[in-house]
Structure 1
């Protein structure tokens, strides 16, 4: 698996959800914070996104907005419109597709609103590298693959057919990848630092791939530097400059992400999780995990299962 796909798979903590939202002017919708990231696609009409902090963002048909931390916000037809709470309805609670309607007598707007459930206890640099709000305006010939995914998603939600639940879940996952790719493409010429830049750095990318391919390996700065063909000191400086943290710090970040995913999704023993995360001692692993997440691995697993059962 490539590094971006691998990272997203490790950060996911649940199935994404999506809601078809239809509103007629005057209208406004208030979105509560979510544990993860949120997105909106404007299918029809024009509106304004009102973040908690910052200036309003005008949105038009085909625009895509991604909120990396799922912070609370509002979307209205006009900045003066009073928002109502976003409380979507689901005919089938097992379905990822919901609906929400704001009645009114004016012009109609249609949006697709969704949420990605991601591990935000200790954010991976993938998310930390992004701005709080990513706005990808619609424009002819711009991000054609993203546009294609948006069109397919809107078609499935507008007119569900047998198999739409599976199709929508897959398309929403694809949408996240395409949003990230599109943003990376837009900023690639202006950025030489950050996790996204490291993916294409000819010296750092091989070291990142080595960490992701075999996180349990007893990597050292020297052994990772050899993948880049650099001395220990030169590699450490370049890695920290591009990625934003030292190589062994990133190794720990990734090992903890892998361990947290295993605790959430498997019944493996703590010793097995520790071994997969590169720790020969369960005690050393537990201490590192608590330092990273603020809770011992056993408590983390229990809390996660309790929350998932609610």
Structure 2
């Protein structure tokens, strides 16, 4: 695994969902705050995104927008004032037909892919936490080829509903999320894009995430990064915000929580996968970090899954 894959896997729960929507005329749709992440892809035409507490964003054909923290927002055919926003139709009612007529795109109309991901925010990786409320990825010819390819494949699957689409669509949605985060990171603004672009910190993180159970030490990590122990400690701590061994302990326990939530594996198996010699050692560290035992955490996660 790598940092981005692990960061997404740790918080993603359930199955993502998406809809392909075509609409023309005057329209204004409200999506309330959501305990997850939402996205919109404009396939044709243009529209406006009005995030709660933020500035309006014009979305053109080929633009992608990710709302990684589930920010409530309005999408509309034109900038909307407070009165129009207050009268916006809910997204669910819109899909059910209680909205302007959905039809083939005509002049002034728009076609979109709209979707959302369920996320468990209880132990979010700082890479995901750093994402801004709105990630706008404008369409640029010749750029973000992987993202564009994923959008094309997803749009095709949603438009045709061919054999196997029930498996293809969730997989493509997961791929789309990774490519959106990757495109954001490629801009190079923020702490974690800098971390992933630093050869020393990135090499150490790749080593840790690829083999979490290994008996890592600062010396071994420094050797993986090709630098001295002092250089590793200085660069890693400065960029990541905590020393390498502190990050390793934190991520081992976070990943243990993911395994307790998503698998039926016994505690001994979980301990082995995250580098603890005994279930007792893991339980002691887990309780100190989370304030609850692994068994209580697993039971609580199961109850949350049933309630949602």
Provide TM-score, normalisation by structure 2: 0.85
Deviation of residue 287 (structure 1)? Answer: 4.4
Residue in structure 1 matched with residue 157 of structure 2 by the alignment = 156
How many angstroms apart in 2 are the aligned matches of 1:300 and 1:30? 35
Residue in structure 2 matched with residue 233 of structure 1 by the alignment = 230
Cα RMSD after superposing both structures: 2.6
* Equivalent position to 2:100, from 89, 98, 104: 104
Residue in structure 1 matched with residue 272 of structure 2 by the alignment = 275
Deviation of residue 255 (structure 1)? Answer: 0.9
Deviation of residue 195 (structure 1)? Answer: 2.9
Residue in structure 1 matched with residue 16 of structure 2 by the alignment = 16
Structure 1 stretches of 5 or more lacking a match? 90-98
Residue in structure 1 matched with residue 286 of structure 2 by the alignment = 289
Q: Bigger shift: 294-303 or 206-215?
A: 294-303
Contact 1:289 1:295 in 2 (8 A): yes
Deviation of residue 53 (structure 1)? Answer: 1.9
How many angstroms apart in 2 are the aligned matches of 1:42 and 1:118? 23
Q: Is 1:195 the equivalent of 2:192?
A: yes
Contact 1:220 1:248 in 2 (8 A): yes
How many angstroms apart in 2 are the aligned matches of 1:150 and 1:211? 32
Residue in structure 1 matched with residue 40 of structure 2 by the alignment = 40
Q: Is 1:71 the equivalent of 2:71?
A: yes
Residue in structure 2 matched with residue 87 of structure 1 by the alignment = 92
Residue in structure 1 matched with residue 119 of structure 2 by the alignment = 118
Deviation of residue 241 (structure 1)? Answer: 1.9
SS of the aligned residue for 2:199 comes to coil
Q: Which has the larger helix fraction?
A: 2
Residue in structure 2 matched with residue 211 of structure 1 by the alignment = 208
In 2 relative to 1, CA 259–284 (structure 1 residues): closer, same or farther, beyond 3 Å? same
Residue in structure 1 matched with residue 105 of structure 2 by the alignment = none
Deviation of residue 294 (structure 1)? Answer: 4.9
**Deviation string, structure 1 residues 8-52 (Cα, Å, up to 9, x no partner):** 334322221112334444322222233332211122332211112
SS of the aligned residue for 1:242 comes to helix
Deviation of residue 136 (structure 1)? Answer: 0.7
Provide TM-score, normalisation by structure 1: 0.84
Residue in structure 2 matched with residue 303 of structure 1 by the alignment = 300
Deviation of residue 6 (structure 1)? Answer: 4.0
Contact 1:124 1:253 in 2 (8 A): no
SS of the aligned residue for 1:14 comes to strand
Contact 1:23 1:103 in 2 (8 A): no
Structure 2 stretches of 5 or more lacking a match? 103-107
Residue in structure 2 matched with residue 92 of structure 1 by the alignment = none
Q: Bigger shift: 46-55 or 282-291?
A: 282-291
Deviation of residue 238 (structure 1)? Answer: 0.3
Residue in structure 2 matched with residue 28 of structure 1 by the alignment = 28
Contact 2:93 2:99 in 1 (8 A): no
How many angstroms apart in 1 are the aligned matches of 2:305 and 2:170? 19
